[in-house]
Copies of this chain bind each other. A is one copy, B any other.
Amino acid sequence: MSQPSIAFWYDFASNYSWLAARRIAALAAARGVAVAWEPFLLGPIFASQGWDTSPFNIYPAKGAHAWRDIERQAAALGLPLVRPAPFPQNSLLAARVGLAVGPAGRPAFSEALFREEFERGRSISDTAVLAEVLAGLGHDAGAVLAAAASELVKTALRQQGERAKRLGLFGAPTFVTADGEVFWGNDRLEAALAWAMDGPLPGLAR
């Protein structure tokens, strides 16, 4: 039998994606589940729902609760939370760099960039921040940034958006199992990993 796997769909601007990015590697490794890191942009999906920013901004009560909820979870995980301003950050360049860095380097790059954003409050649309993170991980920052600006990577990111749309994604983080089961939300990570390992519970049709 091949190794169980899940796809981890995330937007670099998403606060709950930060929590998932900080949890997924250890949880998946403990269960022997492989993770494909899939950066995408929520913006076009939100726009198709009539939203021009995060729902946490559009619905202030919901947004206030979300930040408090994240604060509580960060405290439980021992993570510092520094809210980036503005929120959400523009994540277009980050997503392109996340693709340009390639699948092998993507997990470490993504987690490091999430940490700069949500643990230090730094701007992920700032090329200098991206270059610093890349260099810190041993990448040739100039080469990766150049690749991120290429038509190849721009097209790849558009294709990520089309894949996300076909999967019916409407938020992030979202976890998708190899058999196509979709789990939305950081709090569904454990359930997605369990499904990847064991499949559906008896009586639950695919």
Contacts and interface: CB of A to CB of B under 8 A. Distances in A.
Interface of A: 49, 59, 61-62, 64-65, 68-69, 71-72, 75-76, 168-171, 182-184, 187-188, 191, 200-201, 203-204
A182 B66 CA distance: 10
A183 B203 CA distance: 31
A75 to B, nearest CB: 4
Contact of A182 (B68, B75, B168): B68
A170 B204 contact: no
* Copies of the chain in the assembly: 2
Nearest to A51: B59
A117 to B, nearest CB: 21
A191 B170 CA distance: 26
Contact of A168 (B61, B168, B191): B61
A201 B76 contact: yes
Nearest to A182: B65
B187 A187 contact: yes
Contacts of A170: 59, 61-62, 65
Contacts of A64: 168
A69 B184 contact: yes
Contacts of A65: 168, 170, 182, 184
A184 B183 CA distance: 19
